[in-house]
Amino acid sequence: MGKTTKATLVFLVLFIGGVVYLSTRIARSTCRVCVTYDGHTICRTAASGTRKAAVESAVTSACSGLASGMTESIKCENTPPDSVECAED
């Protein structure tokens, strides 16, 4: 095996190891959010690096099932959630 091949293998192993490590460290907050829009309620759970990002992701997910079209989605996402429960990992 030549020097270039060895260097490439070492780089790939370190790169893949870094990706796996960072992937397991990203989700630090998990939040369950319930949103009511247009008379319907949906609860969704999301995980992210921060509590705020997890809540925003859960709200977006809930609103995707409640609203149709861009205008309704924006209105839904601006509606305060009925409940927010978060856990830190």
Contact 59, 33 (CB under 8 A): yes
Per-residue model confidence as pLDDT tens digits over 36-73: 999 999 999 999 888 999 999 999 999 999 998 999 99
**DSSP H or E run through 24:** helix 3-26
What is the C-alpha to C-alpha distance for residues 42 and 73, in angstroms, rounded to an integer?
A: 14
pTM for this one?
0.70
Rg (CA), the chain: 20
Per-residue model confidence as pLDDT tens digits over 1-42: 788 888 888 888 888 887 877 666 666 899 999 999 999 999
Neighbours of 14 (CB within 10 A): 10
